[in-house]
Amino acid sequence: MFSVFLIKYAEIGVKGKNKYLFEDALVHQVKYALKRCEGEFKVTHTDGRIYVHALSDFDFEETVDNLKTVFGISGICPVVHVEDEGYEKLAKALTDYVDKVYEDKNITFKVHTRRARKNYPMTSMELSRELGSAVLDAFPQMQVDVHRPDVMLHVEIREKIYIYSMEIPGPGGMPVGSNGKAMLLLSGGIDSPVAGYMIAKRGVKIDAVYFHAPPYTSDRAKQKVVDLAREVSRYAGAVYLHTINFTDIQLHIYDQCPHEELTIIMRRYMMRIAEMLAIKNDCLGLITGESIGQVASQTVQSLAVTNEVCSLPVFRPLIGFDKMEIVSVAEKIGTYETSILPYEDCCTIFVAKHPVTKPNLNVIKRHELKLGEKMEELVQKAIDTDQVEVIRWK
């Protein structure tokens, strides 16, 4: 029955003179998502409306599921297209629509007409009144409720005429690519994929870096991160995943620095390398999955010491979340089951038994001096190991 979808958006509508840039980005992302669907589609953008037209047979559920991954969409409305052949044909189309969509007619309704084409012979109020009467004549058991109807029947008079009443919620946010690019520090844990998802929801394109530590971390641990990047790419689009060999740096820190400071110093070098990669790849910020107080390296004092090495802004969208809130989002986006697979990443292998929770920046810097010029060589060597994969959703 449905061969057209009306794509609704919220935040984009208040962007003023720049609105067209966000609309164009949304159209681009809609087209990208539809490439994963069977069938042929045409996306049109006119008069503040985005429509998806099915040009061949298609799977309704598959199409909706993919559209629900597009940030910027607030609602997906399955629409019936009606040829403009006069009021009688329109009234018949509306009653046919109600008959097919609502098996139970013991409901209240309201007709809301939007007449964008002002040369139509009836006004919006007149159309709503007359079409409402037509529905009541066809289905006497239905009742009008103009304040809180069970069903809102929308009729849009544009170059074409559209009827719809259902709105499937979209993910909201801003279309990916409309707000620059940032580098995600992606581990195999629960938090960082969720952080990437949440920043992508604000329109930011995501690159990612993973710190691998063979032989202390296995190829299965690396594959786990690839799989997480693929899950994130369902929403964020293609993710350029950088894999950095971090083993020599970790071992050097382990040999030269106090063990209670291992995590903080290791984290500072991860941030340094991530920033170098970010700048090289035109990223405007870093993204981490840190949450205040969740572990020793995420106390306010620890985060302040970690931040000191960065010149780019560090986005921490989970900073005020508790673990259950993060898990809830991970389950919703499909990353949780992969995140809990028992393959250790480089952070957990070298964790200290009693890590410092209130590090002193001056003390940390003094201990980092013990790493000497060799550390500069190791950092450059690590960057030279960078392996880049383009990760896309299945």
Rounded distance between C-alpha atoms, residue 298 and residue 295, angstroms = 5
Give yes or no for a cis peptide into 215 (omega within 30° of 0). Answer: yes
Q: How far apart are CA 13 and CA 73, in angstroms?
A: 11
- Was 289 annotated as part of a binding site? yes
Residue 59 C-alpha from the chain's centroid: 23
202 annotated as ligand-binding = no
AA identity, residue 171: P
Residues whose CB is less than 8 angstroms from the CB of residue 264 and which lie 6 or more positions away in sequence, other chains included: 297, 302, 305, 306, 355, 356, 359, 364
Token output for 239:
């993710």
How far from the centroid of its chain's Cα atoms is residue 202's Cα? 8
Is residue 60 part of an annotated ligand binding site?
no
Q: Is 267 annotated as a binding residue?
A: yes
Q: CA-CA distance, 174 to 335, in Å (whole number)?
A: 21
186 in a labelled binding site: yes
- Alpha-carbon distance 252 to 235, whole Å? 38
Which strand (E) or helix (H) includes residue 51?
strand 49-54
Q: Which of 225, 312, 302, 226 minimizes the C-alpha distance to 266?
A: 302
Identify the bridge partners of residue 314 per DSSP, sorted by sequence position: 286
Residue of 188, 194, 250 lying closest to 219 (CA atoms): 188
Distance from the first to the final alpha carbon of the chain: 28
Do 288 and 182 meet the contact criterion of CB atoms below 8 Å apart? no
Outline where the chain has alpha helix (H): 19-34, 60-67, 87-101, 124-138, 191-200, 219-236, 247-256, 262-280, 300-307, 323-333, 336-339, 346-349, 361-368, 372-384
Residue 251 identity (one-letter amino acid):
L
Binding site listing for ATP: 185-186, 210-211, 267, 289, 298
Binding residues: 185-186, 210-211, 267, 289, 298
